[in-house]
């Protein structure tokens, strides 16, 4: 049975530094920090493989639907691990609610992990782009999914997912219709992930709730 490291957690000291930087750099962030309190980034998930399977299940469906399908897949496979998902078979995963394509994706990820093509322990020593490059080489995992992994499993502090629709909607609501999330990279850096956490909190739609 494959054994994986626990998710990382952004330390309390780092969260305090991030909050101090964001309050000084951005009045909107100052208000969000006051409303939502301390950031708790990383460590919410179980092992990293489970995180990625959840992310694949959650692609293009509501959070509620994703939770339901994930629970059914867990029951069908007897747990979420590469070995169990491969032994379960695609037909059982489809019966649990996965599309044919997503069933193929989670099984492709399972094979890549067992073959050592995705090495979660090695990720701790790689920079963000190297982790993304490794993950997107697996069928069904795109850049957004890799960025969510960096934020919520590896607790990387300075990730800015430009393609996240929820973040872009939050930025337009809070900063004006013409605002784009890319405009704030230099303002929020080196704590872009923490800024994103507060933007998600403002809409109560963080991807880690899937």
- Residue 164 annotated to the active site: yes
Tokens of 151: 């934020």
* Contacts of range 125-130, beta carbons closer than 8 Å, 24 or more positions apart: 128/156, 128/158, 128/159
d(C-alpha 13, C-alpha 20), whole Å: 11
| Secondary structure letter of residue 116 according to DSSP | T
Which among 127, 164, 178, 183 is annotated as catalytic? 164
Half-sphere exposure of 118 (CA within 13 A, CB side): 27
d(C-alpha 30, C-alpha 26), whole Å: 6
How many helices (DSSP H) and strands (DSSP E) are in the chain? Answer: 13, 0
CA distances from 36 to 31, 39, 40, 186, 202 (A): 9, 8, 11, 23, 8
CB 53 within 8 A of CB 85: yes
Dihedrals φ, ψ of 60, to 5°?
60, 25
CB 39 within 8 A of CB 86: no
List active site positions: 164
């Amino acid at each position: 049975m494959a054994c994986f490291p626990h998710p990382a957690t952004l330390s309390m000291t780092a969260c305090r530094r991030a909050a101090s930087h964001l309050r000084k750099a951005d009045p909107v962030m100052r208000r969000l920090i006051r409303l939502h309190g301390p950031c708790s980034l990383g460590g919410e998930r179980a092992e990293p493989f489970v995180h990625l399977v959840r992310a694949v299940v959650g692609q293009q469906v509501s959070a509620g639907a994703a939770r339901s399908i994930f629970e059914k897949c867990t029951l069908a496979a007897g747990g979420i691990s590469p070995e169990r998902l491969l032994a379960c078979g695609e037909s059982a995963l489809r019966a649990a609610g996965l599309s044919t394509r997503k069933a193929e994706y989670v099984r492709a990820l399972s094979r890549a992990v067992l073959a050592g093509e995705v090495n979660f322990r090695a990720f701790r020593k790689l920079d963000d782009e190297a982790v993304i490059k490794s993950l997107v080489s697996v069928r069904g995992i795109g850049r957004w999914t890799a960025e969510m992994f960096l934020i919520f499993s590896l607790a990387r502090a300075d990730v800015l997912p430009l393609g996240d629709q929820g973040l872009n909607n939050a930025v337009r609501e809070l900063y004006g219709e013409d605002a784009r999330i890319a405009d704030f990279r230099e303002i929020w850096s080196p704590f872009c992930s923490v800024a994103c956490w507060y933007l998600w909190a403002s809409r109560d739609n963080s991807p880690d709730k899937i």
